[in-house]
């Protein structure tokens, strides 16, 4: 329910143990490393490791060769043997010779289509084609248009066979006598035949012979390539080689155990010692975990800030439930979401969120007395439980429309006030007195907005039972003073932090800017509050849509009404569920996060295999 505590962990060892140490750090999947350059900023005695990575060239080389013979490599994760550079070089050359490639030779680029054509031709046996004494064969890609032209020719001195085709080419093999070979080849070349040399060897055989060793050497190169890449995170200090990074405090001992049996020095410090921004790893219980996705989408909190996931989770569920209140549809969402996410462990957090908001949709659906659009089925239950004449909430009743809209605005006001309180808590933690006292979301803002809420409540709900609170003695301290605070927020903040009172841009520009700023502030309060009207709006639109489905069911009648009910509900769940989900998120981001949340954190990203 917070941001996990981190530790800055440094491990160091000798050159001979370095590679093993790095591989173990990599395998642990616990270390969020900091770069060697950042380490050097803290440690001037150290220097980076500069060794040429020869393995990356071999990896590319092997990949190209494997691609050339239509082989997919990389399935093997660990190599069974160790190879010296000489052995790898010798194997690379041997394979190139077998495939008739050489580093200084022509650039052979065989596509998968070429390979298919060669596969088809290999049925005849390449050696057999080369062994013919009086007949010559040629192979190549012939554009489709050119093939049409060849077909127009009478008395051809060659025979042509299509091996493979795609949208642009036919892959053809042609056969002609030695006498006409030059003439035929010239003709086909003038028709843009792109020649492919018929290989002397059977690629399939080479593939079968070398596949296993190629996979093993490739895995070996990959492992070493990874090690070389990890050198970017290491510094050398005398005879010691050091890698540092962040590990969750609770996992430090687990991380330490990873290096058991290896001569490694282990040092644990506070994150501040690292000299770089500490990463953020959120920690929430099973219910709120999926909502971390929305926080990450906006921006993770800074390591030293607080995690807004729980507040977001609660308010999101509430807003969604209010807007999409239907016991039946909510149950479908809840069951679907919980089964897929919590039982079958689908990784998409959005599915988890659907399950959770489904529960709230059920709760509010029950209060509205709505089950799959049927507004009557729960009436007896309401009568028995709440002692009402009809349902507890008559959404489609004209009287209730105003109540729902006023209720939506009141919810908005309460959420805005809570957002301001959270913002004040944040500024207390940050010890930012200026923001705490004078900002529009600080104490001044809270006083002003609370007063406005009280005035509205007094007028609309309490029938002026609070008396005349719109008189000067109230307005002066609760409106004028807060606005003076907003106006002079910057210089007053400077004053509290012991800086020069004068604004950076000078008094003239400052006052001009603040006049406009105050208009914006006033408008924002109004706009942000009215933005919550959408909650009421969607309650009505949901009920309206389901009314349409119910009317259609009545019109169709019989078995058809069940089909209309099923498809109507699916449509409303899909369409309106999506819109309500987006609108709820919009309220979170624009109306609440904008008041109390800054983000700006860095994600905790563990070191993983770089291939």
Taking CB under 8 A as the criterion, the residue among 82, 104, 128, 152 binding other proteins is 152
Our finding on whether 159 is near other proteins (CB under 8 A) is no
SS (H, E, C) 183-232: HHHHHHHHCCCEECCCCCCCHHHHHHHHHHHHHHHHHHHHHHHHHHHHHH
CB of 134 to other proteins, least distance (A): 23
Our finding on whether 197 is near other proteins (CB under 8 A) is no
Taking CB under 8 A as the criterion, the residue among 59, 71, 187, 393 binding other proteins is 187
CB of 192 to other proteins, least distance (A): 4
Q: Cβ-count burial of 461 within 10 angstroms (0-12 exposed, 13-18 middle, 19+ buried)? A: exposed
Our finding on whether 111 is near other proteins (CB under 8 A) is yes
Our finding on whether 288 is near other proteins (CB under 8 A) is no
Within 13 Å and on the Cβ side, how many CA atoms surround 532?
A: 26
Q: Are 315 and 356 in contact (CB under 8 A)?
A: no
139 three-state secondary structure: strand
Q: Report d(CA 451, CA 121) in Å as an integer.
A: 87
Q: Report d(CA 322, CA 361) in Å as an integer.
A: 7
| Stretch of 107-115, 394-402, 490-498, 539-547 contacting other proteins, by CB under 8 A | 107-115
| Stretch of 96-104, 153-161, 358-366, 582-590 contacting other proteins, by CB under 8 A | 153-161
Our finding on whether 181 is near other proteins (CB under 8 A) is no
Our finding on whether 192 is near other proteins (CB under 8 A) is yes
Taking CB under 8 A as the criterion, the residue among 54, 96, 101, 191 binding other proteins is 191
Q: Report d(CA 564, CA 560) in Å as an integer.
A: 6
SS (H, E, C) 534-570: HHHHHHHHHHHHHHHHHHHHHHHCHHHHHHHHHHHHH
Our finding on whether 179 is near other proteins (CB under 8 A) is no
| Stretch of 148-156, 214-222, 328-336, 431-439 contacting other proteins, by CB under 8 A | 148-156
Residue 167 or 559: the one with the smaller Cβ distance to other proteins is 167
Taking CB under 8 A as the criterion, the residue among 8, 58, 169, 448 binding other proteins is 169
Our finding on whether 186 is near other proteins (CB under 8 A) is yes
Q: Write b or e for each residue in 299-330: b if 16 or more Cβ atoms lie within 10 A of its Cβ, otherwise e.
A: bbbbbebbbbbbbbbebbbbbbbbbbbbbbbb
476 three-state secondary structure: helix
Residue 191 or 405: the one with the smaller Cβ distance to other proteins is 191
Our finding on whether 75 is near other proteins (CB under 8 A) is no
| Stretch of 145-153, 376-384, 396-404, 427-435 contacting other proteins, by CB under 8 A | 145-153
Q: Report d(CA 349, CA 353) in Å as an integer.
A: 6
Taking CB under 8 A as the criterion, the residue among 1, 85, 135, 153 binding other proteins is 153
Our finding on whether 168 is near other proteins (CB under 8 A) is yes
35 three-state secondary structure: coil
Residues of this chain that interact with other proteins (CB under 8 A) are 107, 109, 111, 141, 143, 145-146, 148-150, 152-155, 166-169, 183, 186-187, 190-192, 194
């Amino acid at each position: 329910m917070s941001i996990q505590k981190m530790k800055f962990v440094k491990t160091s060892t000798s050159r001979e143990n370095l590679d093993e140490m790095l591989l173990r750090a990599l395998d642990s999947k616990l270390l969020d490393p900091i770069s060697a350059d950042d380490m050097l900023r803290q440690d001037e005695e150290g220097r980076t490791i500069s060794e040429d990575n020869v393995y990356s060239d071999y990896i590319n080389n092997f990949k190209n060769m494997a691609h050339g013979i239509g082989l997919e490599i990389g399935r093997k994760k660990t190599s069974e043997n160790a190879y010296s550079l000489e052995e790898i070089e010798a194997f690379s050359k041997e394979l190139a010779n077998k495939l008739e490639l050489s580093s200084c030779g022509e650039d052979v680029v065989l596509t998968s289509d070429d390979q298919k054509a060669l596969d088809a031709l290999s049925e005849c046996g390449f050696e057999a084609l080369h062994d013919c004494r009086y007949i010559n064969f040629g192979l190549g890609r012939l554009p489709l248009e050119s093939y049409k032209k060849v077909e127009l020719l009478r008395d051809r001195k060659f025979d042509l066979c299509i091996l493979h085709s795609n949208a642009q080419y036919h892959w053809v093999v042609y056969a002609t006598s030695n006498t006409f070979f030059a003439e035929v080849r010239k003709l086909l070349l003038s028709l843009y035949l792109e020649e492919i040399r018929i290989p002397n060897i059977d690629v399939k055989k080479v593939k079968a012979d070398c596949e296993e060793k190629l996979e093993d050497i490739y895995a070996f190169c990959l492992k070493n390539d990874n090690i070389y890449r990890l050198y970017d995170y290491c510094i050398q200090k005398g005879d010691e080689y050091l890698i540092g990074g962040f590990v969750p405090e609770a996992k430090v001992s687990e991380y330490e155990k990873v290096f058991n049996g290896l001569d490694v020095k282990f040092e644990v410090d506070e994150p501040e010692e690292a000299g770089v921004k500490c990463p953020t790893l959120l920690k929430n219980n099973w219910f709120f975990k999926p909502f971390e996705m929305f926080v990450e989408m906006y921006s993770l909190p800074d390591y030293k800030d607080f995690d807004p996931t729980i507040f977001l989770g609660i308010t999101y569920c509430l807003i969604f439930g209010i807007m999409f209140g239907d016991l039946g549809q909510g149950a479908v969402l809840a069951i679907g979401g919980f089964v897929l996410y919590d039982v079958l462990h689908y990784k998409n957090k959005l599915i988890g969120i659907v399950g959770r908001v489904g529960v709230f949709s059920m709760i509010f659906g029950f209060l509205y007395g709505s089950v799959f659009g049927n507004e009557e089925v729960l009436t007896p239950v309401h009568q028995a439980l709440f002692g009402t004449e009809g349902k507890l909430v008559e959404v489609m009743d004209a009287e209730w429309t105003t109540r729902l809209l006023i209720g939506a605005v009141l919810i908005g006001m309460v959420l805005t006030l809570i957002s301001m309180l959270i913002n004040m808590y944040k500024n207390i933690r940050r010890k930012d007195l200026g923001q705490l006292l004078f900002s529009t979301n600080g104490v001044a803002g809270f006083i002003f907005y609370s007063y406005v809420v009280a005035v509205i409540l007094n007028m609309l709900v309490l029938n002026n039972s609070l008396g005349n609170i719109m008189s000067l003695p109230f307005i002066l301290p609760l409106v004028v003073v807060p606005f003076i605070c907003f106006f002079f927020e910057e210089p007053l903040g400077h004053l509290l932090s012991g800086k020069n009172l004068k604004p950076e841009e000078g008094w003239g520009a400052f006052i001009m800017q603040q006049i406009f700023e105050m208009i914006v502030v006033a408008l924002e309060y109004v706009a942000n509050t009215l933005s919550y009207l959408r909650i009421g709006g969607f309650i009505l639109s949901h009920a309206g849509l389901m009314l349409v489905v119910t009317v259609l069911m009545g019109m169709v009648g019989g078995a058809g009404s069940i089909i209309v009910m099923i498809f109507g509900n699916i449509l409303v769940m899909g369409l309106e569920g999506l819109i309500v989900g987006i609108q709820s998120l919009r309220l979170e981001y624009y109306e609440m996060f904008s008041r109390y949340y800054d983000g700006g954190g860095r994600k905790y990203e563990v070191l993983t295999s770089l291939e």
